[in-house]
């Protein structure tokens, strides 16, 4: 076999040494490139998750929104520089062409707020470009991701609080009287209802209030009223015998205003449905609780108030801390049972659901009950009236607030398109 000339010895070694930088560059490029591809995917995921969080929070405060996004970046992209470039654009429905128009984005023309989010993070390269590594990345590389999320507002809603103002609402519950804390919760929810449709020209959320104990007040009046049809219409409805009430006639005429007054009060008054809640807190703060409990009086007044609304969703929510009175001579719990058996709650839902709004939309109504410091789910009257799925027992007022917002809110939000 012919041997290679001695002059060619070591040529392969020289070639290998000359290729080391190139091989290192290819290795570094593949490692760093994979890293930034993964980072790109992670940033895109962060943009989507943060976009949904923005839609869920639905705030128009830029600083608040940026803080939400920053927390997601810190948690999910730990190798990014502290300074993150965040760009958020919040658009109301009126600022998105076609929003609210049937057929533009969906068949119903559902309204929404839109959040356009872009995130750019900076990262130190592991193998930056140099004489040894000419194919490397820059010392600092920016990686971006973006997403668009929408907070679908659903249909506007008319909410009627049917609030227990009986004497037991003055009792302490977790360090505060039930009535004082309930007032705060109703004000907070009313303000949230106003805020979520503030940018609409029409079809705004509204809120109304029906306080009750044994009776309610006629709208716009301090007149105590009863909705019971009686065998003794010209006298006080407090009767010794149980059967002084005409239950079926009460149901058949529940939409009719009853004449006369039981008496007059400065204790509370009914507040009509309104999208402007600026006076709601002032009005409700002046009210106080006393006397016994007759939830059917509040429910019937609440139904009549809900019937004056013009939104496609109607919610009547009873907020009570105890069952109706039943001792002689009141028998209110017994009367409630007879009224439910006569079709009271079904008549309310059927009549409201048959309405058509001035915008040509069908109405969907719901009766819900939230028990304040008592097991309302074990109350056969209210559970039967609202249905077991719409009856809730709260352990504190924060839970009352959360349940109210859950009943009112239809959707949190959804992604529209990652690349807008």
pLDDT of amino acid 390 = 93
pLDDT by residue (tens digit) across 220-255? 899 999 999 988 765 555 556 678 889 999 999 999
CA distances from 267 to 90, 289, 323, 325 (A): 44, 7, 21, 19
- The rounded distance, in Å, linking the Cα atoms of 236 and 147 is 65
Residue 177's H or E segment, with its range, is: strand 176-177
Contacts of residue 310, defined as CB under 8 A and 6 or more positions apart, other chains included, come to 158, 357, 358, 359
pLDDT of amino acid 262 = 86
- pTM, two decimal places: 0.69
User: Six-digit token pair at 298?
Assistant: 């509040």
Task: Report the range of poorest mean pLDDT among 9-23, 36-50, 114-128, 321-335.
Answer: 9-23
pLDDT by residue (tens digit) across 271-320? 999 999 999 999 999 999 999 999 999 999 999 999 999 999 999 999 99
Contacts of residue 253, defined as CB under 8 A and 6 or more positions apart, other chains included, come to 229
Q: In this model, does residue 6 exceed pLDDT 70?
A: no
The whole-number average pLDDT for the span 5-33 is: 60
Share of the chain above pLDDT 90, in %: 59
More reliable by pLDDT, 214 or 409:
214
DSSP state of 9: T
3-state secondary structure of 293: coil
CATH 3.40.50.410 assigned to domain 157-411? The reply is yes
Contacts of residue 396, defined as CB under 8 A and 6 or more positions apart, other chains included, come to 173, 174
Q: In this model, does residue 412 exceed pLDDT 50?
A: no
Task: Specify the pairing of strand 206-212 against strand 157-164.
Answer: parallel
pLDDT of amino acid 259 = 84
| Domain range annotation of the chain | 19-152, 157-411
Q: What is the largest CA-CA distance in the chain?
A: 133
CA distances from 109 to 78, 152, 184, 213 (A): 41, 11, 34, 42
Give the CA angle between residues 133, 135, 140 to the nearest 5°: 85
pLDDT of amino acid 241 = 67
Contacts of residue 233, defined as CB under 8 A and 6 or more positions apart, other chains included, come to none
pLDDT of amino acid 250 = 95
pLDDT by residue (tens digit) across 38-74? 999 999 999 999 999 998 887 778 999 999 999 999 9
Q: In this model, does residue 418 exceed pLDDT 50?
A: no
User: Six-digit token pair at 260?
Assistant: 């006369």
């Amino acid at each position: 076999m012919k041997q290679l000339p001695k002059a060619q010895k070591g040529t392969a070694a020289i070639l290998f040494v000359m290729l080391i930088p190139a091989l290192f560059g290819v290795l570094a490029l593949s490692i760093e490139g994979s890293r930034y591809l993964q980072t790109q995917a992670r940033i895109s995921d962060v943009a989507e998750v943060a976009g949904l969080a923005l839609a869920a929070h639905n705030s128009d405060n830029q600083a608040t929104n940026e803080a939400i996004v920053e927390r997601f970046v810190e948690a999910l992209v730990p190798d990014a520089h502290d300074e993150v470039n965040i760009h958020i654009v919040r658009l109301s429905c009126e600022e998105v062409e076609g929003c609210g128009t049937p057929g533009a984005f969906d068949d119903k023309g559902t309204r929404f707020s839109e959040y356009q989010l872009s995130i750019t993070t900076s990262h130190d390269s592991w193998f930056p470009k140099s004489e040894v590594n000419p194919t490397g990345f820059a010392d600092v590389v920016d990686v971006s991701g973006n997403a668009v999320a929408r907070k679908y507002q659903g249909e506007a809603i008319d909410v009627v609080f049917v609030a227990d103002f009986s004497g037991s609402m003055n009792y302490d519950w977790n360090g505060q009287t039930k009535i004082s804390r309930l007032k705060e919760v109703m004000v907070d929810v009313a303000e949230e209802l106003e805020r979520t449709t503030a940018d609409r020209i029409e079809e705004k959320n509204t809120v109304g209030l029906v306080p009750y104990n044994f009776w309610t007040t006629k709208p716009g009046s301090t007149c105590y009223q009863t909705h019971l049809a009686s065998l003794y219409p010209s006298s006080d409805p407090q009767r010794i015998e149980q059967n002084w009430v005409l239950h079926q006639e009460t149901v058949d005429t529940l939409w009719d205003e009853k004449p006369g007054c039981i008496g007059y009060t400065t204790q509370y008054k009914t507040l009509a449905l309104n999208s402007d809640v600026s006076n709601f807190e002032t009005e409700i703060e002046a009210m106080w609780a006393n006397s016994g409990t007759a939830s059917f009086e509040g429910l019937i007044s609440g139904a009549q108030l809900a019937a004056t609304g013009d939104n496609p969703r109607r919610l009547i929510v009873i907020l009570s801390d105890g069952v109706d009175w039943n001792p002689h001579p009141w028998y209110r719990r017994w009367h409630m049972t007879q009224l439910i058996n006569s079709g009271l709650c079904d008549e309310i839902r059927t009549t409201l659901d048959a309405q058509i709004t001035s915008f040509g939309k069908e109405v969907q109504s719901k009766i819900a009950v939230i028990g304040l410091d008592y097991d309302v789910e074990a109350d056969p009257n209210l559970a039967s009236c609202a249905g077991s799925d719409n009856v809730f027992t709260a352990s504190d007022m924060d839970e009352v607030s959360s349940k109210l917002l859950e009943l009112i809110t239809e959707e949190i939000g959804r992604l529209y398109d990652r690349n807008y």
